Amino acid sequence: MVNFVVRRLAFMVVILVGVSFLTFLIVNVLPGDVATTILGDFASPEQVEALRERLDLDRPVLQRYAEWAAGMVGGDFGVSLKSNQPIGPILWNRLANSLVLAAMGMAVAIPIGIALGVVTAVHRDSLLDRAITATVVVIFALPEYVTGLALIIVFSLEWNLLPASSLVLPGQSLWANPMTLILPVAVVALGMLAYLCQVTRASMIAALNSGYVRTAVLKGLTRRRIVVTHALRNAMIPTLAEIGLGFGYSLGGLVVIETVFSYPGIGQFLVQSIQNRDIPGLQAGVLVVAAAYGIGNLVADVGSLALNPRLRS
């Protein structure tokens, strides 16, 4: 197990280096210029060139990447080209906000999604199964911005029960108004819940049709014990893998949700970095999201090995 984790961490480092390098190159070949973005379209060429020199944008791309990577190894995320402030404190604050949103969404989605998946598998092809499956398929098919806007229209504009925006003012705590978190958490939970329900249902159906479950039935075990003790444990292995990937998605995939609700998370930070051509900020944000995907996948694999010792070989 230890060797497995060490190998995966080493492979993750290689992936992060590749992701950061490709992101750096792609951003630098995009049309537009950060100096022009900062000064505006009416700045003179002399002003733009002077700012480019001050921001070291006139140096070769590979040299700037090497210096940025060296700083990253030492824990320095660099300085924002737009605000001229250190990226680290801003990024960690945004990451903490996104982690809160993702954790709350997963806390709601995981138990409900798994429970619905088990119920639909146990009552396969029944009216209950078809109703739940059809509902979660529709939810999963809807884009996140459609779900978010629909919840805003219903709960904010029509019923006036919840705030439509999750905007946090400078210096204000994220928990100053917990009501602003309900709608974005609901959107995160709905998308993940629908997918987990489908994955769990498919895994449970396969487990219930397996030989060891038929043996348990012949032994006279109760249906509840067969489902909970025997089938569910093996059915959770692919579900755990999806939960791990869902953790990374909950950070990188929050771009749309955070934009719709003006939520100050890492997704909104990435959008703002792209709009401002803030290369160091974009680099750091993408690297954090890629690391989240890798860590979530690793945790899911370790959980699968713990549930099924046969996978360790």
- pLDDT at position 290 is 84
What is the C-alpha separation between 137 and 158, in angstroms, rounded? 26
What is the C-alpha separation between 242 and 247, in angstroms, rounded? 9
- pLDDT at position 83 is 79
Residue 22 has pLDDT above 70, yes or no: yes
Residue 304 has pLDDT above 90, yes or no: no
- Are 37 and 27 in contact, with CB atoms under 8 Å apart? no
Domains along the sequence of the chain with CATH: 96-273 (1.10.3720.10)
Q: What is the pLDDT of residues 40-97, one digit of tens each?
A: 777 788 888 887 787 777 788 788 888 888 888 888 888 887 778 889 888 888 888 9
Question: Which of 196, 194, 226, 224 has its CA nearest to residue 209?
Answer: 226
What mean pLDDT is predicted for residues 216-224?
83
Question: Which of 81, 17, 59 has its CA nearest to residue 286?
Answer: 17
**78-115 exposure pattern, b = at least 16 Cβ within 10 A, e = fewer:** bbbbbeeeebeebbeebbebbbbbbebbbebbbebbbe
**What is the residue type of 155?**
F
Tell whether pTM > 0.85: no
Q: Where are the alpha helices (DSSP H) in 78-181?
A: 87-122, 127-141, 144-151
Q: Which residues contact 24 (CB under 8 A, 6 or more apart)?
A: 61, 64, 65, 68, 279, 283
Distances (CA, A) of 166 to 1, 85, 244, 255: 42, 24, 26, 14
